[in-house]
Chain A
Amino acid sequence: MIPEIGYFSLVLAMGLSLLLCIFPLWGAYTGNLRLMRTAPSLAVGQCLLVLFSFGVLIYITLTDDFTVAYVAHHSSSTLPWYYKVTSTWGGHEGAILLWLVMQASWTALVAMMSKSLPWVLRARVLGVLGFLGVGFMLYTLWMSSPFERLLPYYPVEGRDLNPLLQDPGMIIHPPLLYMGYVGLSVSFSFAIAALLTGKLDNTWAKWSRPWTMAAWGFLTLGITIGSWWAYAELGWGGWWFWDPVENASLMPWLVATALLHSLAITEKRGVFKSWTVLLAIAAFSLCLLGTFIVRSGIIVSVHAFATDPDRGLFILSFLALVVGGSLALYGLRVSQVYSEGRYKLVSREVGLWVNNIFLVVATLIVLLGTLLPMIHKELGLGTISIGVPFFNQMFAILIVPFAILMGMAPMLRWKQNKLPPLAKKGVGILVATIVITSAWLFSSFDEISTLTYLATALAVWICIATVVDLVEKVSVHPSTAQGLKRLGMSYWAMVLGHVGIAFVIASVTLTSAYSVERSVVMKKGETATLNDYEYRFEGVNEIRGPNYGGHAGEVTVFKDGEYVTLLHAEKRLYDVGMQFMTEAAIDDGFYRDLYLALGESMGNGAWSLRIYHKPYVRWMWLGGILISLAGFIVLADKRYRRRKQTSVEHG
């Protein structure tokens, strides 16, 4: 009975979504204020029903109700309670319900936080969000309900959660990623509402900006944690593979990054309006496209999700309707948009415009690399595969001008800038970059390739330029304290974001260039050396967890004869699915990670082990966290917390 209540609650929620889609949009069209005013309560009501339904799924998972197919397939009674909760989004149906939870929550949040918006705009934004809600709920109810029963024959024990997913990273990675994906639907709704209203002034950019920043912050954090999880959990020491599923989350991130910068210009200067709208549509469209790629099985990926052509067809139809419809609307309205501002070639406008070009080109590269093999085949040209080298090479080429610009662009002024003082500053920063990069690399590594040097220099360049700009902006004020106070949160967000990117560039470069690994076979007491570190194998113990057994290898690490750490690497065999899992042991450090994976028993007490030494790998996630902080810090900006104001300022 309880699962049915969960299902019924979703049906009711979809009813409210449908009303949320119809009433406010109709009201805005006819100018009926009473209809428009229904939007907030419908949005909140829908959210409560969806939350209730999700609560039901968590409840039936915690109580081991294996009459429900989803629970039987993704949980088991021996699973620890927190992984039971995780299992509610470990499979396709539950993940889609989680998506709904996010979608409904964002919608309710927009409803509650948009009190100062003009009613027509507010009703349209919520109406569009309602429309998206209807689509996803229809999908859930119709072809991927997590409440379906396995009656009359149900198993006495569940099939357990995939051991790969039994990790703290999995507890937070999907919710964060979905927060980001779904959050971009808010930017999308603002764009569509603006197009419907026909008033593409900078009001909509102003309103859309904090929502976009928040969504982008979540997306960044989700991707960062996903990469950390791949590194820590998969036991092969890697962090990015250009897999279609990874690309599916990178594409919206790149476009959303472009959108953030473009929104800033549109808000401040009233230019690039139609371009910004197009980016807002594109960012969310790429989220939908990513979902389609992941859930339809159209492209072969190492992440094996539920693949089903019927589901794929539904998502494709929805994609066609949403994206096709909004692009058609865009095409009809864009010819009426005119830019107001004027600017010269050397100006912040142009700097941001070039940044947008780079980000969009990067997105197109990922999109082509992901879809080209399929298109190639459909055209009857045979099968090709586009691998890691293609992406790496393309990004290596793009990053050079992009990073140079990233350092200098914040110094540019709106409208126009004189070139000579800028060039003078550039030379100064270049000299500092060469000095610092050389000092850093030559003191840390024996061999340095030109490419490694160049790429590291880019990271250093960004950092120095950012600091120089910061110092300059502070020093125009009488005192440092006063100067720091005057810098807005958006400025600090920019600083964090750019420095974060510098960390990621440095980490990717140095880890790729200087990581070493070694496969060894050792008996108890034997030692192996890798990069000044000595690893002594202390033997293997049997281990027993709540739902797995296995072996744990202990390795003591010494450097120059001194004890560094004790590594504990596990090889687990999960009881229910009989699956092996490697739990790598990692000694993390600011400058390097020591990474150890336990291999097979070779007989006679000898075991194979794989040891990795990964310099600066942790900077990648540090950078990712800094970048996502940039997204959240803007929310603290006073400008976005003022309530009743727009009607006066913008009419």
Chain B
Amino acid sequence: MNKKFLGLVPLLIFVLLCVFLYQGLFGNPRELQTGRLGQTMPAFELPDLMDEQKRWTDQDLLGEVYLLNVWGTWCPTCIAELGYLTELREQGVRIIGLYYEQAYDPDFGDQFDINYLRTDVQQMLARAGDPYQFNILDLERTLALDLGVSGAPETFLVDKNGKIILHHTGDINPRVWRSKFAPAIQELQP
């Protein structure tokens, strides 16, 4: 075997790796994580966070473009983005919260105190800004699982027919909004 060629094998492998790293740098690893992208919102029926009698279904959300923001008061980044999301709401963006409770464990369900949670949420929204039209409470995390949510905050952009256009993990800030959400929303406008 040609020894000269063998010596160059590591270099060839490395160059190949660099090509992928270069592509990966300009691809967006955060975007394509959900298998739901391009599909419609999963069907669900869940209570309102503040009013147990009120129930929301996927049909209620149709007709208008909206952001579905997965959040919780236990999540520092979620609190951090409340301020900017509130600004967006004031600019006319429709934002619906999907409340993701972390402390609740289905095995210890009976100990869960919904009133405590509501006070906590109200205080937090009063302090940091309230961007939400309303909040859906997903205590068993069924909708979150269907959507492929892996943490919080995560935000979905959904069009008026219920199709999921974007899935963003991490906070929404002016830079993310300008580079990602604004162009996508622009495209949705006729």
Contact = CB atoms under 8 A, between A and B. Distances in A.
Interface stretch (B9-17, B131-139, B156-164): B9-17
A278 interface: yes
Given A300-B29, A323-B14, A602 B20 contact: no
Interface string B2-24: 01101110110011011011111
A430 to B, nearest CB: 39
A292 B21 CA distance: 9
B79 A578 contact: yes
A159 to B, nearest CB: 10
Contacts of A304: 170
Contact of B29 (A319, A320, A377): A377
Interface string B161-174: 00000000110000
Interface stretch (B49-57, B86-94, B105-113): B105-113
B74 interface: yes
Interface in A346-398: 371, 374-375, 377-378, 383
A579 interface: yes
A331 B76 contact: no
Given A319-B18, A519-B105, A602-B113, A330 B11 contact: yes
Main secondary structure of the interface of B (DSSP, over half): helix
Given A328-B11, A335-B4, A602 B111 contact: yes
A602 B115 CA distance: 10
A484 interface: no
A156 interface: no
Contact of A606 (B3, B24, B111): B111
Contacts of A331: 4, 7-8, 10-11
Nearest to B117: A600
A339 interface: no
B59 interface: no
B30 A519 contact: no
A324 B76 contact: no
A316 interface: yes
B14 A327 contact: yes
Interface in A257-303: 274, 278, 282, 285, 292, 296-300
B27 A377 contact: yes
A482 interface: no
Given A324-B14, A599-B103, A374 B24 contact: yes
A297 B76 CA distance: 20
A603 interface: yes
Nearest to B105: A519
Interface string A321-352: 00110011011111100000000000000000
Contact of A374 (B10, B15, B20, B108): B20
Interface in B11-47: 11, 14-15, 17-18, 20-27, 29-30, 32-33, 35
| A278, A375, A606: residue with the most chain B Cβ atoms closer than 10 Å | A375
Contact of B18 (A274, A300, A324): A324
How big is chain A's contact interface, by range? Answer: 35 or more
B24 to A, nearest CB: 5
Contacts of B18: 316, 319-320, 324
Nearest to B3: A335
Contact of A299 (B15, B29, B107, B116): B29
A608 B108 CA distance: 10
Interface in A564-610: 577-580, 599-603, 606, 608
Contacts of A579: 76
A306 B170 CA distance: 13
Given A313-B25, A377-B27, A519-B105, A601 B111 contact: no
Interface residues of B, number: 40
A311 to B, nearest CB: 10
A404 to B, nearest CB: 29
Contacts of B169: 300
A378 B23 contact: yes
Nearest to A301: B29
B18 to A, nearest CB: 5
B14 A316 contact: no
Contacts of B26: 309
A324 B22 contact: no
A378 B27 contact: yes
Contacts of A333: 7
A324 B105 contact: no
Contacts of A580: 74, 76
A521 interface: yes
B11 A324 contact: yes
Given A327-B14, A606-B111, A298 B24 contact: yes
A327 B32 contact: no
Contacts of B112: 602
Nearest to A579: B76
A312 interface: yes
Nearest to B32: A383
A374 B8 contact: no
Interface in A421-474: none
Contacts of B108: 519, 521, 608
Given A383-B32, A603-B116, A608 B103 contact: yes
Contacts of B14: 285, 323-324, 327
Contacts of A600: 103, 116
Given A309-B25, A521-B108, A579-B76, A383 B20 contact: no
B76 A330 contact: no
A327 B11 contact: yes
Nearest to B74: A580
A278 B113 CA distance: 60
B29 A335 contact: no
A330 B111 CA distance: 65
A601 B116 contact: yes
A6 B173 CA distance: 32
Contacts of A334: 3, 6-7
A257 to B, nearest CB: 19
Contacts of A323: 14
B76 A577 contact: yes
A298 B26 CA distance: 8
11 contacts: A300-B29, A300-B169, A304-B170, A327-B10, A334-B3, A334-B7, A578-B76, A578-B128, A601-B116, A602-B116, A603-B113
Which A-B residue pairs are the 3 nearest by beta carbons? A331-B8, A334-B7, A327-B11
Interface of A: 274, 278, 282, 285, 292, 296-300, 304, 309, 312-313, 316, 319-320, 323-324, 327-328, 330-335, 371, 374-375, 377-378, 383, 519, 521, 577-580, 599-603, 606, 608
Given A327-B8, A378-B24, A603-B115, 15 more contacts: A278-B10, A292-B21, A300-B29, A304-B170, A309-B25, A323-B14, A327-B10, A328-B11, A378-B23, A383-B33, A519-B105, A577-B76, A580-B74, A600-B103, A606-B111
